[in-house]
Amino acid sequence: MAGGGVGRPAGGAGVPPVSLVVYLAAGLLGLSAVVLLRRPRTAVRDPLTVSTCVSIVLGSLVFVCSAPLTLAAVNRLTGVPNFGAPLTYGMLSAYSCSLLVLLVHWRGGPRELVRRLVLRSIAAYVPLVAAIVVLFTLGDAHTERLTDLDTYYANTPYVREMILLYLIGHTAATLAMCALCVKWSREVTGLLRAGLRLIMAGSLLDVVGFQLTKYTAVAARWYGHDLDVLSTKVAPPSASLGALLCSAGFVLPRLLPAAAAQLRGLRDYRRLGPLWSRVRFVSTAPKPPSGWWQSPRARLHWREMSIHDALLALAPYFDDQVRARALAAAREAGRSAHEARIAAEAAMLADAARRAAAREAPLAAPSGYRLHATEVSGTSGLVELAQALLPLPAPAQAAAREGTLRTSHG
């Protein structure tokens, strides 16, 4: 991955386009790691989260290291021409190893088996990284190449072997990952299968767009031809897109369920608005700390708790006669038994809220009726009640008005 863009030695003004591409890819990868680590204390206890973030961070570092601007800076700081090459190739090999480790943790299994597979992956790539450093030290690569090192040194002893070694190591990890994803995708469904397909798509793009083009360009140099454009123009953007697809495949199946839960929380929070506006004046629940950082689920939990508190306070005002009239009217209108019950409860609640707001005395013999919303878990019952209140059906409104008039004149 080191050495993309147009072939040129060190020097020149401006920012090479390839640097912008890989820096953008690195930034997007880093952002996904930040999202996964939004709760560091709990995240570090989860091997899957840790391995996912390690893989993403290593992928981001590979892109940063392979940018011509970074290569030039590393070479200048170390005083060693092309020192950025083994650094990038070693980082890419570590990234390849981390992908295998991540897949092992993602698939799971007995702890001892997972541990053994992880150690095998590490044992395979640690010597590879060491060999890359040794071969670079033995080779003659004194002419700095920021963008076309793979093809420029394709025929240089030891450096040639170093280039082949990092490519073979990356290919082995990618093909192993593809094989495991194909096998696993036959056993799973839903978001996990979608994630595996994204990983396969990114891996295939990496194989065809990055690895195959690198092999072709290097082999062309062996036979006296110049296909450097494949290595410098095609490979970098293909590698960037492939890595982003792979990261999306790993991250989305873990983030989408949480995001969907937050969206459902926001939807239910808003749908409870009509009910909350009716009963909020009697709720004694403590107010939560305000701030934009409060998640929709947290806001929903507080609203649900506050509504239940208000319903308890309004219970002495519940009038069974109001509910009975509204129930009969709803049944006559052709509503199902459940719909009629909710409409009747909405009428009784609206009547109770009006009389409590007017500071009327509670009923001498209040109803012992239990609302459907208090019998079911979750917010579904409260949402049904809230939706029945806005707008209140005409029969229920009439029943509630009759109940209010009867209470004031009776």
CB 263 within 8 A of CB 271: no
pLDDT of 40 strictly over 70: no
Peptide bond into 40 cis (omega under 30): no
Q: What is the pLDDT of residues 229-273, one digit of tens each?
A: 999 889 988 888 888 888 788 778 877 887 888 889 999 999 999
Q: 4-8, 42-46, 389-393: which range is least confident on average? A: 4-8
Please report, as a single letter, which amino acid is at residue 259: A
pLDDT of 332 strictly over 70: yes
Mean pLDDT of the 342-353 span: 92
Report helix angle 212-222 to 235-271, nearest 10.
170
Contacts of 55 (CB under 8 A, 6+ apart): 95, 98, 99, 101, 102, 247, 250
Q: Give the rounded distance of the alpha carbon of 12 from its chain centre.
A: 40
For residues 31 and 41, which has the higher predicted lDDT (pLDDT)? 31
pLDDT of 144 strictly over 80: yes
Average pLDDT in the chain: 83
Whole-number Å distance between alpha carbons of 220 and 389: 75
Q: What is the pLDDT of residue 17?
A: 58
Mean pLDDT of the 384-390 span: 88
Q: What is the pLDDT of residues 166-177, one digit of tens each?
A: 999 999 999 988
Mean pLDDT of the 148-173 span: 94
Name all domains of the chain by residue range, CATH numbers in brackets. Answer: 17-261 (1.20.1070), 282-409 (no CATH)
Q: Which stretch, 36-50, 180-194, 246-260, has highest mean pLDDT?
A: 180-194
Whole-number Å distance between alpha carbons of 60 and 74: 17
Whole-number Å distance between alpha carbons of 65 and 23: 9
pLDDT of 109 strictly over 70: yes
Whole-number Å distance between alpha carbons of 259 and 266: 11
Q: Which stretch, 60-69, 127-136, 256-265, has highest mean pLDDT?
A: 127-136
Q: Give the rounded distance of the alpha carbon of 298 from its chain centre.
A: 19
Mean pLDDT of the 294-306 span: 86
Place of tokens 């981001």: 60
Mean pLDDT of the 192-200 span: 89
Q: And the tokens for 293?
A: 């950082």
Mean pLDDT of the 150-169 span: 94
- Whole-model pTM? 0.68
Q: What is the pLDDT of residue 354?
A: 92
